[in-house]
Structure 1
């Protein structure tokens, strides 16, 4: 367990190396696969900056529509996070996914990690 102060108050990190993540089946829907990657791999990293990303919908079976929240909404680095982090990871791990699109209103910057 570790605590590090930041501009939001602080970040508490709890490591559980023996924790087991539930696995999803091969025949899971694309939505289930995307959500699995978001919540098991991507959001834990975004949480370090007080952020998160969620799936809004899947269009035409190949485009993930995402919405950022918390410290990611309005963040000046969200484009980099989307392209080099979220999109890259999802396209590598979710078969059939071809595109990722952000529909977040980034004009709201009150909680943004980088302004």
Structure 2
């Protein structure tokens, strides 16, 4: 799978979960995919200060991305100050 195809699959996964995040006042954006295995994202809006954002990241975002792109090993939130 090319990097472009992988990025498309990850974006499709984010598009699938985005409405749930937006309904709580948050959002997510893809920053990069490292070595075709680690996805770097940035949680935005209400998701930034949410006490359950790590659970959302692992249970929601990572699970959805792995459904679309099983070769992904982990998803990491990059906090931008």
TM (norm. structure 2) is 0.87
Divergent runs of 4+, >4 A: none
Distance 2:42 2:79 in 1: 5
Of Structure 1 and Structure 2, the greater helix share is in 2
Q: Which has the higher contact order (CA 8 A, sep 6+)?
A: 2
Residue 88 (structure 1) aligned with residue 71 (structure 2): no
The number of residues matched between the two structures is: 80
Report Cα offsets for 1:25-59 as digits up to 9, x if no partner: x97511111011101x1101111111111110000
Structure 1: runs of 5 or more not aligned: 1-25, 109-115
Structure 2: runs of 5 or more not aligned: none
Q: Which structure has the larger Rg over C-alpha atoms?
A: 1
Residue 38 (structure 1) aligned with residue 38 (structure 2): no
Distance 1:69 1:58 in 2: 18
